[in-house]
Amino acid sequence: MRHRDAGTLPGPVESPLNAAFDLTSAGAAELDARDPLKALAAEFHHPHDRSGRRLTYLCGHSLGLQHESTKAYVEQELADWRRLAVLGHHAAERPWIPYHEQAAVGLASLTGAGPGEVVAMNSLTVNLHLMMVSFFRPAGERTRVLIEKSAFPSDRYAVASQLEFHGLKVRDHLIEVEPRPGEQTLRTEDIAERIEREGSRLALVLLPGVQYLSGQLLELAPLAAAARTAGAALGLDLAHAVGNVPLALHDWNVDFAVWCSYKYLNAGPGAVGGCFVHERHANRRDLPRFAGWWGHDKAARFEMGPHFDPIPGAEGWQVSNPPVLSTAPLLASLAVFEKAGMHRLREKSLALTDYMRRSIEARLPGSVDIVTPRDAAEHGSQLSLRILLPRTAAKLCYESLTDEGVVGDWREPDTLRLSAAPLYNSFQDVFAAVESLARALDARR
């Protein structure tokens, strides 16, 4: 069994969705009827195909759906821009100079941080680079970076380029941990053991919250502790974790974390990303950083002086002024999260995922291998399914599923990713998707 920081993360709760599952269509309808969050789904815009058929959208791990309030948030900024032009920096309904600050409380609540520890800025990979400038400081024998072998390619490119930037060979300085032979997900003890073994050679550990391919939620508290013991910085890529699973970044003592907002945070394509910097680094002037005027002391920013004086906390890592139009949907979304409550969302997410797993196991035995761990503490909303067919047939099966009106996504060579997002998916969506998958598999056998 895994342990969690019981002091900060909510424990198991009595949920109306916890009862034994009836895997029929009527059972799914009954679970939906009992769902305390069911009304929320109608507040989202669900995609349709050309014939007007509503699609079963199980792709929130890639791009979340638009909430109905988003339009008003964006239109407010367009209207203020039309009406006020430059005066909107101070006089807009939501003034533009401190625009991003309105996201801080919501982001802090989703990540388990204090408001001064988070900032909405840039995009994920840009933030990762900015963080590595400060927290990957190779010196003496402490030069190595540990990542996982299936890290999202952008993370690997970023880390490799940072190593090269410091004149270090990727071959010698990039450590990649992977599942044991015959296994598909990572073991906490293996990562921790490797961190310990690398010890004083390790400068940075960069891990995902939820692994993008397998859907595995890593056990972050002990891994953060292992990195600290080794004297290495710990950074997290939370692209698939934020808004999906409960997080306690402050209490876990993570050094930094970065995320995007277009997946579970439903802030739209290319939306502004986010960044966490632990409070203990808030006032560190010894850390080099790539500075810009938006990270400079707010009171003196418009004095246009030559010397950089960073804002304490995560905001001090900002470079440019906030992208108001791509931050507006994030504000809309954070209000929805506040209304729904992460605790209730997680409860429903676990019930939906469990329902999906059991339906697949009952309906498709031997056809699909569920890669994502079963333990509730080790997954979020996504299930990664390996289709047990020859490669071409497996891909065709995915295409048939798409033709059936189910939106998931495909990662070569054989992985279908489906996620039921508790804000807008229902048990009936999951039922429909599994039925469609059964038909798609039948067609290819």
Ligand X SMILES: Cc1ncc(COP(=O)(O)O)c(C=O)c1O
Name the site residues for ligand X (rule: CB under 6 A).
123-125, 152, 154-155, 208, 212, 237, 239-240, 260, 273
> Which residue number, 152 or 424, has a Cβ lying nearer to ligand X?
152
Closer residue to ligand X, CB minimum distance, 231 or 270: 270
- DSSP label at residue 206: E
Toward ligand X, which CB reaches closer, 124 or 360? 124
Q: Contact, 258 vs 235, CB < 8 A?
A: yes
The distance of closest approach from Cβ of residue 216 to ligand X in the complex, given in angstroms and rounded to an integer, is: 12
Closest approach, Cβ 155 to ligand X, in A, equals 6
Q: Which of these, 380, 350, 366, lies nearest to 438 by C-alpha position?
A: 366
Rounded to a whole number of angstroms, the minimum distance from the CB of residue 421 to ligand X is: 15
Q: Which long-range contacts (CB under 8 A, 24 or more apart) does 29-38 make?
A: 29/427, 29/428, 31/351, 31/355, 31/427, 32/426, 32/427, 32/428, 35/348, 35/426, 35/427, 36/344, 36/348, 37/340, 37/344, 37/345, 37/348, 37/422, 37/423, 38/426
| DSSP E strands, 265-402 | 274-277, 368-370, 382-387
- Choose between 123 and 381: whose C-beta lies nearer to ligand X: 123
CA distance from start to end of the chain: 38
Q: Given the complex with ligand X, which of 152 and 256 has the nearer CB atom? A: 152
Residue among 143 and 162 whose Cβ is closer to ligand X: 162
Residue (240 or 395) nearer to ligand X, CB:
240
Which is closer to ligand X, CB of 134 or CB of 367?
134
**Between 151 and 221, whose beta carbon lies closer to ligand X?**
151
Q: At its nearest, how many Å lie between ligand X and the CB of residue 57?
A: 17
Q: Classify burial at 320, counting beta carbons within 10 Å of its beta carbon; exposed 0-12, middle 13-18, buried 19 or more.
A: exposed
Using CB atoms, what's the residue nearest to ligand X? 125
Minimum CB separation from ligand X for residue 218, in Å? 12
CB of 154 to ligand X, least distance (A): 4
Query: Do the beta carbons of residue 245 and residue 210 sit within 8 Å?
Result: yes
Hunting for tokens 């890639």 — which residue is that?
62
Minimum CB–partner distance for residue 397 and ligand X (Å): 24
Provide the 3-class DSSP secondary structure of residue 33.
helix
Cβ 252 to ligand X shortest distance, Å = 19
- Give the C-alpha separation, 358 to 362, whole Å: 6
Q: Which residues contact 279 (CB under 8 A, 6 or more apart)?
A: 114, 116, 117, 250, 313
Least Å distance between CB 411 and ligand X?
Answer: 11
| For ligand X, the closer CB: 74 or 121 | 121
Place of tokens 């198991």: 12
Three-state DSSP state, 395: helix
| Ramachandran class of 437: left when φ > 0, alpha when ψ lies in -120 to 50, beta otherwise | alpha
The 202-208 sheet, strands edge to edge = 118-120, 274-277, 256-259, 233-237, 202-208, 144-148, 174-177
CB 344, min distance to ligand X, A: 25
Write out the two tokens for 27: 């059972």
